[in-house]
Amino acid sequence: MSLMRQIAWLVLGVVLAALVGAVGLSTLSARQLMQTQLRLKNADNAQALALALSQQQGDAELIKLLISAQYDTGAYEFVRWRDAKGEALYERAGAAKDGLAPAWFRNWVALDAPAGVAQLSNGWNAIGAVELRSHASYAYDELWLSARRLLAWLLGVGIVAAVLAWAGLRRIRRPLDAAVAQAEGVLAGRYGQVVEPRVPEMQRLTRAMNAMVQRVRELFEAQAGQLMVLREQAHLDPLTGVSARKHFLAELEAALRRDDGPAVAGLVLLRLRDLAGLNTRLGRRAVDDVLLTIVSALQAYPQRVPGCRVGRLNGGDFALWLPAEGVAGETAEALADALRASLPAFGANVQVALGAVQLPRERPSNVWLGEADAALARAEHVSETRGGFVVEVMADAGVGREQGETLWRAQLQEAVTLQRGQLVEFAVRDREGRVLHLECPLQLGLGSELLPASAWLPLAARARLTAAVDLFAVGLALKASAADGQARCINIAPASLADAGFLPQLRDLLLHAPQAARLLLLDVAESAAGEHFERLLELGRQLRPLGVKLGLEHAGAGLAQIERLYQAGLDYVKLDASVLLGVAGEAGRAAFVRGMVIMLRSLALKVYGEGVVDEMDAQALWDCELDGLTGPWVTAQRES
């Protein structure tokens, strides 16, 4: 039984005990008064009658007449005349009256008033005694009515007291509920503060809880700070602060495998020519300033375009990944113009060559790097003969849309309306090989074929149709889970999260399938969580009571930079492949992953790994105590 219910029962018991006690005590006190009054009445009436009878000089007929008159004018059980020997000479008596009081009440407050007795005389001669007793029914009736009136008054007072007690309990329960919710939030990884109530005892409890939450928050922030240090050591170039070669290549590999990028993207390679000669002529410190100037120009793009990545491949070589179509050549020319304006300040011999490629994302990473390196080599060749800042751009001849955007929009709307699509299932497994849930990217039927998200998602985002597509995918997942009881995960596009109408429609869809909704997981990209944090909070508040689990996908170092991550109320986090690739061969990367797992576990989150392709990496990740893995290696292991 809950504490508040126990208090409520205790208050009710006290009120009832006080009510019963007050009625009982009052009734018994009135009974004692009535009994005393009856005894005195019997004695007084007997004395008065005896005085009147003694004046009749022993005339029996007159005495009998007066006894009858006394009996007829009063409410008596009996009036009796006894002689000196105690024998009854004359008696008037009648049956007891029932009255209004019930029998049980009469038995409970039984009145025991003795009969009044007085002596009769004729002069100095005793001629007997008179004995009488009044009826008690009137006393019982008065006691009964007064007890009912008192009970009614006390019931009214009790109801008012109960209402006031209920209001008081609600006032006490409010801070208690807030404290319980705060404690449950801590268990779920949400660290919110509670306003201190006015009740002194609850103030101390709330203050202690708030202090504990603040301490946990500070611990989380300290862990996040340590994680950033590990990230800098494991992933970043110490001079320029951009991604080191291995990490950039891992980021490139992960970007090519993701479904939420554009179908066509770009890669720019930049080389500072004759680095060794510049070190000799200008000195190491001046060349470092040149490299920082180049990096400053490159980093302008990630700040403006989400998903851009900058890396230092070696001494004077840099790379810029552009997750957008048709911007590689333009970006390379803009970079060249910016460097033409800034680098001549270091000397006339400071020159750069840039190679840019634009390719479909389904091409493997070695093709991307090979094509970009070939473009850079041609730019260097031209620079040797012409000098200055040279840009060479290559674009795949097959790149380009065969259809206009209007036709794409119509096909997307038709696919959603006609439910033309299917979910592709990839298992997330634990260390023992058990399926934790199925990741289910959507393939849409556009035209005559089913296309992956990498083909239609950029078009859907541009056409503002991601919400409708995501609802379609959730509907397919609910039907499949209702059929086989398997948990399924659906990716929610950032544009859908920002759509005000998406959440109400999603909630209605889930309410129509409550059992299947408990098997649904929803992934939100790490970048979307940072940009739409309040929407993420609202998503959790609305869907968590329905049993839906919410998590972040493609998570990396940006987790430590998401404000109030400890309040997001997430259930799990999926670490991005760029963080995990090559973790078996580098202690620094393994330490970073382990630190992320520790930080996320402190928030009561499950931690999964994405895009695992190598068995050695998988074993290293199990050693880092991840809860589950997915990717080509997991799929291949199950098939074999």
Indicate if the pLDDT at residue 632 is higher than 50. Answer: yes
pLDDT bucket at 445, cuts 50 / 70 / 90 = confident
Of 636 and 7, more confident: 636
Q: What is the CATH number of domain 405-639?
A: 3.20.20.450
Q: According to the CATH classification, is domain 239-395 in 3.30.70.270?
A: yes
Of 408 and 418, more confident: 418
The domain limits of the chain are 3-159, 239-395, 405-639
Mean pLDDT, residues 542-553 taken together? 91
DSSP alpha helices (H): ranges in 387-447? Answer: 405-417
| Of the candidates 525, 577, 579, the residue with the CA atom closest to the CA atom of residue 557 | 579
pLDDT reported for residue 397:
47
Mean pLDDT, residues 243-268 taken together? 85
Q: Select, from the ranges 4-18, 44-58, 606-620, the one with the highest average predicted confidence (pLDDT).
A: 606-620
What pLDDT, in 10s, does the model give residues 571-598?
Answer: 999 999 888 888 888 888 888 888 888 8
Asked if residues 375 and 392 have their Cβ atoms less than 8 Å apart, the reply is: yes
Indicate if the pLDDT at residue 530 is higher than 80. Answer: no
What pLDDT, in 10s, does the model give residues 343-393?
Answer: 888 887 888 999 999 988 888 888 899 999 988 888 888 877 766 678 888
pLDDT reported for residue 548:
94
Of 409 and 343, more confident: 343
Mean pLDDT, residues 554-558 taken together? 79
Indicate if the pLDDT at residue 519 is higher than 90. Answer: yes
Indicate if the pLDDT at residue 207 is higher than 70. Answer: yes
Give the H or E element holding residue 185. Answer: helix 137-188
What pLDDT, in 10s, does the model give residues 287-317?
Answer: 999 999 999 999 888 877 777 899 999 989 9
564 token code pair: 């109030």
pLDDT bucket at 398, cuts 50 / 70 / 90 = very low
What pLDDT, in 10s, does the model give residues 156-167?
Answer: 887 887 788 788
pLDDT bucket at 229, cuts 50 / 70 / 90 = confident
**57/123 Cα distance (integer angstroms):** 7
Indicate if the pLDDT at residue 439 is higher than 90. Answer: yes
pLDDT reported for residue 290:
92
pLDDT reported for residue 81:
86
pLDDT reported for residue 401:
46
Indicate if the pLDDT at residue 263 is higher than 80. Answer: no
**27/359 Cα distance (integer angstroms):** 99
pLDDT bucket at 399, cuts 50 / 70 / 90 = very low
pLDDT bucket at 560, cuts 50 / 70 / 90 = low
DSSP alpha helices (H): ranges in 236-299? Answer: 245-257, 275-282, 284-298
pLDDT bucket at 404, cuts 50 / 70 / 90 = low
Provide, rounded to the nearest whole percent, the portion of the chain with pLDDT above 90: 23
Indicate if the pLDDT at residue 559 is higher than 50. Answer: yes
CA distances from residue 70 to 66, 130, 487 in whole angstroms, order as listed: 6, 12, 97
Indicate if the pLDDT at residue 37 is higher than 60. Answer: yes
pLDDT reported for residue 639:
58
Indicate if the pLDDT at residue 541 is higher than 80. Answer: yes
What DSSP designation does 109 have? Answer: T
pLDDT reported for residue 508:
94
Q: What angle do CA 630, 631, 636 make, to 5 degrees?
A: 105
Residue 330 CB: number of other CB atoms within 10 A? 13
Given the DSSP bridges, would you call strands 264-272 and 317-322 parallel, antiparallel or unpaired? Answer: antiparallel
For the chain, what is the mean pLDDT? Answer: 83
pLDDT reported for residue 381:
81
Angle (deg, nearest 10), helices 466-484 and 502-511: 20
Mean pLDDT, residues 225-243 taken together? 83
pLDDT reported for residue 407:
76
Mean pLDDT, residues 521-535 taken together? 84
pLDDT reported for residue 422:
92
pLDDT bucket at 148, cuts 50 / 70 / 90 = confident
pLDDT reported for residue 210:
79
| CATH class, range 3-159 | alpha beta
479 token code pair: 């039907």
Least confident range from 151-155, 426-430, 513-517: namely: 151-155
pLDDT reported for residue 86:
80
**170/291 Cα distance (integer angstroms):** 66
What DSSP designation does 97 have? Answer: P
Q: Residue for token digits 């602060």?
A: 241
Query: Looking at beta carbons, which pairs linking 126-130 to residues 24 or more positions away fall under 8 Å?
Result: 126/84, 127/54, 127/58, 127/83, 127/84, 128/81, 128/82, 128/83, 128/84, 128/89, 129/50, 129/81, 129/82, 130/46, 130/49, 130/50, 130/53, 130/67, 130/79, 130/80, 130/81, 130/82
Summary count for the chain: helices (H), strands (E): 23, 20
What DSSP designation does 3 have? Answer: H
Least confident range from 2-6, 39-43, 162-166, 227-231: namely: 2-6
Mean pLDDT, residues 471-498 taken together? 93
pLDDT reported for residue 562:
60
List CB contacts of 523: < 8 A, sequence separation 6 or more: 439, 489, 490, 491, 492, 551, 552, 553, 574
> Using CA of residue 51, residue 52, residue 55, residue 60, what is the dihedral sign?
negative
**349/354 Cα distance (integer angstroms):** 16
What pLDDT, in 10s, does the model give residues 93-130?
Answer: 876 666 777 878 778 887 788 888 888 887 777 778 88
